[in-house]
Amino acid sequence: MGAPGVVTGRTRPTKVKKQAGVLKRKREDVDVEKLEQAVVDIDPKNDKYTNFTDLPLSDPTKQGLKSAHFAVMTDVQATAIPLALKGHDILGAAKTGSGKTLAFLIPVLENLYRLQHIGTDAGLGALIISPTRELAIQIFDVLCKIGRHGHMFAAGLVIGGKSLESERQALTKMNILVGTPGRLLQHLSQTVAFNVDDLKMLVLDEADRILDMGFQKDVDAIVEYLPKERQTLLFSATQSKKVSDLARLSLQEPEYVSVHAEDRTATPKSLQQNYIICPIEEKLDTLWSFIQASKKSKILCFFSSAKMVRFVYESFRHMQPGIPLLHIHGRQKQGARLDVTAKFSAAKASCLFATDVAARGLDFPAVDFVIQVDCPEDVDTYIHRVGRTARYNREGRGVLFLAPSEEEGMLKRLENKKVPIELINVRQKKKQSIKSQMVHMCFKDPELKYLAQKAFITSTKSIYLQKDKEIFNIKNYDLEGFAASMGLPGAPKIKFLKDDGGNQPKQQSRQKVEVSDSSDEEEVGAIKAKDKPVRTKYDRMFERQNQDVLADHYKKLVRDGDGDGTSAEEDDFTGGKLGAKDDDDFLAVKRRIPAEDDGTNAQLNDEDKPIVPGGRVVHIAGASQPIIIDSNRREKLLKSKKKLTKLMDKGKKLIYDEDGNSHEVYELEDEKAFRAKGLPEEQRQKFIESAREVVAQADVEDKATAKAKRKEKARKRKERERNEETGIAEVDEEGGVQIEDTGEDPLANFLADAAYSDDDDEEVEPQPKKAKKWFESDSEGDERSSKKRKKGKKSKGTVVTEPETLEDMEALAAGLLG
Ligand SMILES: Nc1ncnc2c1ncn2[C@@H]1O[C@H](COP(=O)(O)OP(=O)(O)OP(=O)(O)O)[C@@H](O)[C@H]1O
């Protein structure tokens, strides 16, 4: 078995090797005949198988199982493998972590082996479909693990992420393929050489998920390509015997392998399941406190939206929780998702925040706790989420957070599906409040605040869109409190339609939205893109709604025709987990773009009628020329404000003469008139002469003005000094010296004086340097105080005159001492 996309098998370059190959082939033929007989002899109803070695398996498979230390079969393996070896179609339902992967992989290897469906010419023999890329990779890894010891199949993984071309070349040589529905369908419809006519087996892991609404179309289309005569195996922890599904997949008399019916619980025995009552506004406090109390554990926390996952991850990370945090959701790039799964698998203590993209099938080793922070949409989702712990007889704990209004409905449903769960209480002593930290972080970091707003909206929206209204009723949640718990100053405005869900399109499962969202480029994107018209950022901008939920100014921007729609958030917001169609039904606030101001300024008038064949003429405000719309591309141009501005006339710069007539900046004179005035050189000289005279005259005027100004200033200065000398100065309340108000700003005076002081000429009278009197430095303070003393500060606001007579001096002294 080889690496993804690489054909494995042996090459035979030399004669000796060729002979060895022939011998080997013969030995295999003998082996195959024996095996065939042994399989015919199997009696699944009566025989009891315990170990893998009890089954008629090929040597390479036995070796592979042995080297991976798989010896004793699990219940589902012991029941399903014998039936599948005999070629039966199977509907397999067994608990999470019970070993379903081997229950279908072993029959795949064995049945193809016995048919000798091997080598590049044999074509595709088995197709294994998984709902997520991570799960497909995991299945492929197990296939390689047990198939690498002597099997010569070519096996490949088709999940996207690589170029179609490179996958295409390898694809045509594969015997076994593991893939996600979207990418597989893409190859089936586009890769001509991909031949599935001889397909022997089709396997659907997490079959209920693959057959539900999210993948329905893709899977039906894939099945159309496959031969009807084939063996089909369907496995899931939450499998049902839906007749419609059986018909869709042309199952023939399927064997129903249901292992958990016997012990009367739908979940593993080694799993301890509890729930706590936790109002929505206390979820973050409770989760934080829980993490603080379990820093040495491996914890997996589920949320209903990718934005919430991001918000909790980012905010908790800032608060340094003392345990490595990770996050995974469908909007991450494939590389990042794989990195996270690898890190969480390898970690001893870690906390992973996840959406339901990690709910199914993933086999993280030794997870201690699964915390369902947001209530799952249904019991099946609960079972898959909680099944990430307590796998293959190991112990594990699941804790479900239920809002008071969710309790009754959810418990009823869990009980109906045989899920044993008990109420526990949170120790109030251990509970910490992180509200103030959240507020502080959101205040300090606008990006986090914005993320909080988006997380609030998607979480609320996800509750609102739940189909099970008995459990989820948006009116029962304290949304203001919820927003406050996230550090937001108030709940972002979201208007729900009066029609409270009655007209909702039948709710798509949240998982589905998440998963299909996760695979923007690869899984579904390429196929679905075909059905949808191409939408540009500008299109999305005009279609966007409810923008005022996040920013009032944005609406204003759009009304002003100023938004360019290129904000980084745009994709995030419109491409969120819940699709644009949901937005229409969910949010009442529509962006209003008046027809006359719709951002295009294109006014279609009477002349819109086609006057040229195949086109119509449109006049654009501000453009001198009409444009002809004769193609879709041109039609789109009308919607693009940016492109339209290019068509508009550029403005002209004008100057106005004394009579108020406008002229262009450069106006060309009539040539005849110009020549009549004389030779160009003479005209130039004349012009220079006249300009020189004008400049000289202006110079004389300027000098006179400057001189007059200086004289005036000198006069004012003298006057001030005279005033001072005659004592028209006051001592202000603070004890500072204040000039009598002359109606001029002393600072302005000072600056003006300084400006002129540089170019003082002989006409300017010498300036006594007293200006600093009003703006002194610290050292000058002493001088001032001595002067004050000289003038005699008697009391605040009292005008004091210089003592002239002896009596005056005695009176001043008495005042100073008194
Ligand atoms: N016979 C076996 N002996 C020992 N370990 C086994 C055996 N079969 C499976 N396991 C181990 O049990 C774990 C769970 O197996 P697997 O992932 O196939 O479970 P599953 O039933 O597909 O779970 P889920 O429903 O969550 O997808 C794996 O780690 C696998 O290696």
Q: Per-residue pLDDT tens for 395-428? A: 999 999 999 999 999 999 999 999 999 999 998 8
Predicted local distance difference test score (pLDDT) of residue 537: 53
Residue with more model confidence, 233 or 259: 233
In terms of DSSP bridges, do strands 627-629 and 654-656 run parallel, antiparallel, or are they unpaired? unpaired
Tell me the longest C-alpha to C-alpha distance in the chain: 144
Q: Quote the CA–CA distance of 776 and 817 in Å, as a whole number.
A: 28
* CATH code for the part of the protein at 27-258: 3.40.50.300
pLDDT at position 793: 40
48 has a pLDDT exceeding 60: yes
Find out whether the beta carbon of 546 lies less than 6 Å from any atom of ligand 1.
no
| Ligand 1 proximity of 131 Cβ (cutoff 6 Å) | no
**ipTM higher than 0.90?**
yes
- Take residue 120 and report the two structure tokens written for it: 């590049």
CA-proximal residue: ligand 1, atom 4 (nearest): 70
pLDDT over 70 (residue 541): no
Nearest protein Cα to ligand 1, atom 27: 361
Query: How does residue 763 score in pLDDT terms, banded at 50, 70 and 90?
Result: very low
Measuring from atom 16 of ligand 1, which residue has the nearest CA? 99
The finding on whether 363 has its CB within 6 A of some atom of ligand 1 is: yes
Q: Position 217: which residue type?
A: K
- Decide: 199 and 227 in contact? Cβ < 8 Å: yes
What is the residue-averaged pLDDT of the chain?
75
- Specify whether the CB–CB gap between 466 and 507 falls below 8 A: yes
pLDDT at 163: 78
pLDDT in tens, 786-817: 444 444 443 333 333 444 444 555 454 444 43
Task: For 207-228, give the DSSP string.
Answer: HHHHTSTTTHHHHHHHHHHS-S
Please state which of the ranges 431-435, 507-511, 592-596 shows the lowest mean pLDDT: 592-596
Q: How far is the CA of 178 from the centre of ligand 1 (A)?
A: 18
Say whether pLDDT at 285 is over 70. Answer: yes
Pocket perturbation via mutation, ligand 1, pick of 61, 392, 395 by most ligand atoms within 8 A of CB: 392
Q: Quick one: average pLDDT of 247-258?
A: 86
Query: Residue 613: is its pLDDT beyond 80?
Result: no
- Please give the residue that has the higher pLDDT: either 149 or 802: 149
Confidence of residue 68 (pLDDT cuts 50, 70, 90): very high
Band (pLDDT 50/70/90 cuts) for residue 15 is very low
Nearest CA, atom 7, ligand 1: 99
Q: Is the pLDDT of residue 27 over 60?
A: no
Q: Which of 475-484, 557-566, 573-582 has the highest mean pLDDT?
A: 475-484
- What pLDDT does residue 206 have? 95
**Dist CA 485 CA 490 (whole Å):** 10
State whether the beta carbon of 101 lies less than 6 angstroms from ligand 1: yes
The Cα 222–Cα 145 span in angstroms is: 27
If you average pLDDT over residues 67-74, what whole number do you get? 96
Q: What residue type is 293 in one-letter code?
A: A
CATH topology of domain 271-484: Rossmann fold (3.40.50)
Gap from CA of 270 to ligand 1 centroid (Å):
14
In DSSP terms, 157 is beta-bridged to 178
Whole-number pLDDT of residue 213: 75
Q: What is the pLDDT of residue 727?
A: 54
Instruction: Say how many Å lie between the CA of residue 99 and the centre of ligand 1.
Output: 3
How far apart are the CA of 305 and the centre of ligand 1, in A? 28
- Using pLDDT thresholds of 50, 70 and 90, give the confidence band for residue 708: very high
Residue 82 has pLDDT above 70, yes or no: yes
Is there an atom of ligand 1 within 6 Å of 96 CB? yes
Percent of the chain whose pLDDT exceeds 70 = 67
What is the CA(71)–ligand 1 centre distance, in A? 13
Nearest to 565 by CA among 599, 590, 525: 599
Residue 614: band (very low, low, confident or very high) from pLDDT cuts 50, 70, 90: low
Determine the distance separating the centroid of ligand 1 and the alpha carbon of 388, expressed in angstroms.
11
Judged against a pLDDT cut of 60, whether residue 449 lies above it is answered with yes
The region of weakest confidence among 271-280, 423-432, 455-464, 551-560 is 551-560
Mutational pocket test of ligand 1: of 75, 79, 102, 132, the residue with most ligand atoms within 8 Å of the beta carbon = 102
The predicted pLDDT at position 8 comes to: 32
The finding on whether 92 has its CB within 6 A of some atom of ligand 1 is no
Amino acid 496: pLDDT: 63
Dihedral in degrees, nearest 10, Cα atoms 749, 754, 755, 757: 120
- Judged by average pLDDT, the poorest of 125-129, 356-360, 691-695 is 691-695
| Angle formed by the axes of helices 306-318 and 446-464, nearest 10° | 140
pLDDT in the model for residue 162: 73
**Which of 54, 61, 62, 74 has most ligand 1 atoms within 8 Å of CB, for mutation?**
74
> Per mean pLDDT, which range of 77-86, 443-452, 549-558 is the poorest?
549-558
448 has pLDDT over 90: yes
Decide if pLDDT at 444 tops 80. yes
CB atoms within 10 A of CB 723: 14
Res 592: pLDDT: 31
Confidence of residue 120 (pLDDT cuts 50, 70, 90): confident
Query: Could you identify the atom of ligand 1 that is nearest to the CA of residue 384?
Result: 26
Is residue 206 within 8 A of residue 45, CB to CB? The reply is no
Has residue 127 got a pLDDT over 70? yes
For ligand 1, mutation pick of 52, 98, 141 (most atoms within 8 Å of CB): 98
Weakest-pLDDT range from 168-177, 311-320, 572-581? 572-581
Q: Is the CB of 268 under 6 A from ligand 1?
A: no
| pLDDT reading at 455 higher than 50 | yes
Domain ranges of the chain: 27-258, 271-484, 502-537+571-647
pLDDT at 16 over 80: no
Ligand 1 proximity of 97 Cβ (cutoff 6 Å): yes
Atom of ligand 1 nearest to the CA of 387: 26
CA atoms of 328 and 339, how far apart (whole Å) = 10
Q: Per-residue pLDDT tens for 569-592?
A: 222 222 222 222 333 222 222 333
Query: Is 364 near ligand 1, meaning CB less than 6 Å away?
Result: no
Closest ligand 1 atom to residue 142 Cα is 31
Q: How far is the CA of 74 from the centre of ligand 1 (A)?
A: 8
Query: Is the pLDDT reported for residue 45 higher than 80?
Result: yes
Query: Which residue lies with its CA nearest to atom 6 of ligand 1?
Result: 99
pLDDT of residue 355: 97
Distance 291 CA to ligand 1 centre (A): 28
Q: Could you tell me if the CB of 392 is within 6 A of ligand 1?
A: yes
Judged against a pLDDT cut of 60, whether residue 362 lies above it is answered with yes
Average pLDDT over residues 200-224: 92
> In this structure, what token pair is assigned to residue 387?
């099944």
pLDDT band at 183 (very low <50, low <70, confident <90, very high): very high
Pocket test for ligand 1, best of 100, 139, 203 (most atoms within 8 A of CB): 100
pLDDT of res. 3:
41
Nearest CA to ligand 1 atom 9: 99
* Between residues 324 and 428, the one the model is more confident about: 324
Contact in structure between 617 and 607 (CB atoms under 8 Å): yes
- Percent of the chain exceeding pLDDT 90 equals 48
pLDDT for 536: 54
Provide the pLDDT for residue 30.
Answer: 61
Ligand 1 centroid – CA 287 distance (Å): 29
How far is the C-alpha of 83 from the C-alpha of 44, rounded, in Å? 6
Number of H helices, E strands in the chain: 31, 21
CB 79 within 8 A of CB 56: no
What does the pLDDT read at residue 287?
A: 97
